[in-house]
Amino acid sequence: MANILVTGGCGFIGRHVTEELLNNGYDVRILDALIDQVHGDTEAAVPEGAEVIRGDVRDKASVVQALEDIDGVIHLAAEVGVGQSMYEIARYVGGNDLGTAVLLDAMINRPIKRIVVASSMSVYGEGRYMTESGDQLGIVRRRAEMIKKGEWNPLSPDGLSLTPIATDEEKPVDLASIYALTKYAQEKQVLIFGEAYGVDAIALRLFNVFGAGQALSNPYTGVLANFASRLANNQPPMIFEDGEQRRDFVHVRDVARAFRLALEKPNAAGHVINVGSGQAYTIAEVATLLAEAMGVPEIGPDIMNKARSGDIRNCFADISKARELLGFEPRHRLETSLGPFAEWVRGTGAIDRGAEMKRQLEERGLVS
């Protein structure tokens, strides 16, 4: 494969994927709608050497144009944000699910060999847990009445404590937000299409992606970008619940490499694959590490002790399958990458819209 289409290629992850492909000898065309929430008023930074078509993935004419002479597709174009998806439902379902359907329609009868779609760890709901007796549980859910009382951790069916463990791809999905629903629909559409039409199809379930180039003024982007925007404006990072929830943070350069490998590795076809760091961090720990990296260690996080609808407690990646099928190994640990990230934030400038995001959620009863 020589000619690759990257939908959403001007976005945070898309720019790094495009750069990774260009650096490895691919020709890249980008299809991107350049929406304001992601790109603001600034001109999108596109790696030199990529062709750009400005268009919405839901517009078939734009998609058909973008697919001309293409050998493979990386599908990143999507609306992103658990919280916002809970009150802009039509926008998320339209952008993510209809957009994917239009793309697949346009791929029929074209000589496209492989498609790789960006899915999300959000499809798991809660990650895997182990009981005190050592049994692994598939689906674990928190009860609303417990959350309202500030009892954040899920319990076993008989009311006993559970230990969160790394989540593998065999864990049943449990969709806790509209965003998660749309990402699962995206990956299933692509895998079903691939099987029906003889196209190699792979879904990468991304965990919390971070790195230079995130949309710092978009309050619905990644956790680290939100925290950085607050700290850059001398405001404490806002943390829902008690800050002890655990997540997996994976550097965008590692993610970009995973997408390239998914294009190249024959055995990846037909699979869903986690892409994370394989490490677990508490959200409060991450806020503290970032404040230190940004030179404001005195600004501690604002622990809100309130829950946001659609959020889960713990989820971090088992990346054994990525190692086996892609030869993937993370190279950028969170602890050693926050310094360069903080330096980039200081030189970029960020508008803090965290309070606006909180108000929008509260007005709709999505914080309790």
Q: Which residues are catalytic?
A: 179
Phi, psi of 367 (to 5 degrees): -125, 130
- Cα–Cα–Cα angle for 232, 238, 240, nearest 5°? 155
Residues 6+ apart with CB under 8 A from 55: 31, 32, 33, 61, 62, 63, 65, 66
- Whether the CB-CB separation of 328 and 258 falls below 8 Å is answered with yes
Locate 127 and state its tokens. 């990650």
- Whether the CB-CB separation of 108 and 92 falls below 8 Å is answered with no
Could you tell me the CA-to-CA distances from 338 to 109, 196, 211, 250, 289 in Å, in that order? 46, 44, 8, 12, 8
Say which amino acid occupies 243.
G
Locate 116 and state its tokens. 């790789």
HSE (side-chain half, CA atoms, 13 Å) at 43: 3
Q: What share of the chain is helix, strand, coil (3-state, %, to 5)?
A: 40, 20, 45
HSE (side-chain half, CA atoms, 13 Å) at 117: 31
Number of residues that make up the chain: 368
Phi, psi of 114 (to 5 degrees): -155, 145
Q: In the beta sheet, which residues pair with residue 247?
A: 281, 315
Strands 51-54 and 136-137: unpaired
